Amino acid sequence: MTKDEHHARFDAWLTEHSAMLHHVVNGFAIGPDRADLRQELLLALWHAAPAFRGAARSSTFVYRVAHNAALTWSRSLRNYRQRIERFESLVPPSAAEPPVGGATESRELLDLLYARIHALPPVDRSLILLHLDGASYAEIAEIHGLTETNVGVRLNRLKHKLTASMQEISHELH
């Protein structure tokens, strides 16, 4: 793969899957950690791009790389503070990370949803994020190396759990 092809593929993925990457970043990290995790995801995609042979759908490939990187992400504490400070200094106010919550109802719901997702164990978090992003059970099973039945069972349980906890919060608020 030539350097130009590498750049072109990476750019195309970034544009096509920007929403999914945004979801993974917000689903696995909070606050300044998001900038660090985003860099990790982008680096993982950058390194993985030449390995894509087209055998799987590009979305499946990108999901797998991004979720893999997020699940195995461990901050390097030594340089961590330095990196966060550098990212913060790079971010102009207009391009700052949008708050997940906000004034609108949709934003409030998103805020609560992300909070509930953060409370889940890492693998369950990844499963629900993939499901919300529209990945099929077969795709999720392939990405995680689980059986479709197992994915179905776990997702049903997770959906009930999420709905119940969101309803509980909603009752408390109203």
Q: With binding defined as CB under 8 A, does residue 60 bind another protein?
A: no
**Helices 122-132 and 18-28, axial angle in degrees (round to 10):** 150
Q: Which two tokens stand for residue 40?
A: 């990790």
Q: Using CB under 8 A, which of 3, 90, 93, 172 touches another protein?
A: 90
- Inter-CA distances, 112 with 57, 127, 131, 134, Å: 32, 18, 17, 20
Calculate helix-pair angle for 122-132, 58-71, nearest 10 degrees: 150
Does position 89 bind another protein by CB under 8 A?
Answer: no
Which residues lie closer than 8 Å to 135 by C-beta, 6 or more apart? Answer: 59, 60, 63, 143
Residues 2-31: x where in contact with another protein by CB under 8 A, - otherwise, as a string: ---------x--xx--xx--xx--------
Burial class (CB in 10 A: 0-12, 13-18, 19+), 22: middle
51 touches another protein (CB under 8 A): yes
- For residues 105 to 144, the per-residue mask of contacts with another protein, x marking binding by CB under 8 A and - elsewhere, is -xx-xx--x-------xxxx-x-----xx--------xxx
Interface residues with another protein (CB under 8 A) are: 11, 14-15, 18-19, 22-23, 35, 38-39, 42-44, 46-48, 51-52, 61, 64-65, 67-69, 71-72, 74, 87, 90-92, 94-95, 97-98, 102, 104, 106-107, 109-110, 113, 121-124, 126, 132-133, 142-146, 150, 153, 159, 162-163, 166-167, 170
